[in-house]
Amino acid sequence: MPYSAQASYSPRGRASVPCPDDGSRLNASTARTTATDFTLQPDDVERLANLAGPFDAHLRQLELRLGVEIANRGQVFRVTGAPAATARTERLLRQLWEDAAVETLDEAVIHLRIAESGADQASPGYVPQDVSIRTKRGTVRGRGANQQKYLHAIATHDVNFGIGPAGTGKTFLGVASAVEALNEGRVHRLILVRPAVEAGEKLGFLPGDLTQKVDPYLRPLYDALYEMLGVEKVVKLLEKNVIEIAPLAYMRGRTLNDAFVILDEAQNTSIEQMKMFLTRIGHGSTAVVTGDMTQIDLPRHQKSGLKDALEVLRNIDGISFTFFESRDVVRHPLVARIVNAYDARDASDSETGPKG
């Protein structure tokens, strides 16, 4: 893994921190912070590559989880952040440097070392500043605290749930995160699925080939990809099977490695389908599950797989849950008021019970 003399690492969307001893001033976002400089010894390029991870993924994870900025020139590091956080990060980097000499580091090892150190700043109330993702169409940033938390969660967890009303950006931000991961080489495939519940997933009775059968149910996913990559690029990636868009039923029996997988409209999955989807996730993969519990189209007697997953998986380490509200809606201003009106009506109905 090559390291240039000016190589530096910075969190998603933040301005890069200058490398140690370059005489430059830190950016404005480092006000009321401290910078700690140190050198990892002995010199070892392969060990440094092991520490940094593929495409610097390990350093990026440390930045996001510990709330600091990490820059380096070779084995000379600078950690910028709150004094206590920089001290914890230096200790953790030195520990990982020792680990890198005797084992191959991966995301699981990094996660374990962070947890053991007690340095994780990704608590429920912690929102990193200016979390953003880069795509060829520009930079996408979260609007409001919940979208920021959602982006941060996707960057630091393997399985992520985004739950809330329409228009809150759940699917769009998930697709944007997937596109960035593909562009940076952190994953090799994007797989986007939805349950075709309106057709009962009995797709054989519909006219046309597979694409023609399921396209109407998958159109929102296409729209998000088109906005991120452009129509021509999406078509090429679909032809090469780099991007796959399919009904949930076609996931059965597969194991998905080095992939970014999105399950949209998850409120319309059965318990069995949700379990099947979550157990498809393989090594090096990230999963995002989005849904709106107020728009369940399943038969009344059937429990939503999304609702069941919330109950079963709520306390599982490595899984994140972000809950959006009507105030997070980023569509037309009327949409938030419409959502509130329906929520108020539903709450009133649940209190008074069925009439007649």
Length of the chain counted residue by residue: 356
* Mean pLDDT computed over 28-50: 82
Whether the per-residue pLDDT at 46 is higher than 70: the answer is yes
pLDDT at 132: 66
Q: What is the pLDDT of residues 326-344, one digit of tens each?
A: 777 766 667 767 877 887 8
Say which amino acid occupies 85. A
DSSP E strands in the chain: the ranges are 34-39, 69-73, 76-81, 132-135, 138-141, 159-163, 189-194, 243-247, 259-263, 286-291, 319-323
pLDDT at 306: 94
Tell me the pTM: 0.62
Which segment, 12-16, 209-213, 283-287, 346-350, is predicted with the most confidence on average?
Answer: 283-287
Q: Are 12 and 73 in contact (CB under 8 A)?
A: no
Q: How confident is the model at residue 5 (pLDDT cuts 50, 70, 90)?
A: very low
| Of 127 and 284, more confident | 284
What are the structural domains of the chain? 28-117 (3.30.1370.10), 146-352 (3.40.50.300)
**How many CA atoms are closer than 13 Å to the CA of 75, on its beta-carbon side?**
13
Cα separation values, 350 from 163, 311, 343, 353, Å: 21, 21, 11, 5
> What does the angle CA 300 – CA 304 – CA 305 come to, to the nearest 5 degrees?
155
What does the alpha-carbon distance between residue 67 and residue 127 come to, in Å, rounded to a whole number?
9
Q: How confident is the model at residue 256 (pLDDT cuts 50, 70, 90)?
A: confident
What does the alpha-carbon distance between residue 294 and residue 177 come to, in Å, rounded to a whole number?
25
Query: Does residue 322 sit in helix, strand or coil?
Result: strand
Q: How confident is the model at residue 26 (pLDDT cuts 50, 70, 90)?
A: very low
Q: What is the pLDDT of residues 91-134, one digit of tens each?
A: 999 999 999 999 999 877 887 788 777 766 544 444 444 556 76
Q: How confident is the model at residue 275 (pLDDT cuts 50, 70, 90)?
A: very high
Question: Tell me, what DSSP letter sits at residue 286?
Answer: E
56: left (phi over 0), alpha (psi -120 to 50) or beta: left
For residues 42, 47, 49 and 52, what is the CA-based torsion angle, rounded to 10 degrees? -80
Q: What percent of the chain has pLDDT over 70?
A: 76
pLDDT at 352: 63
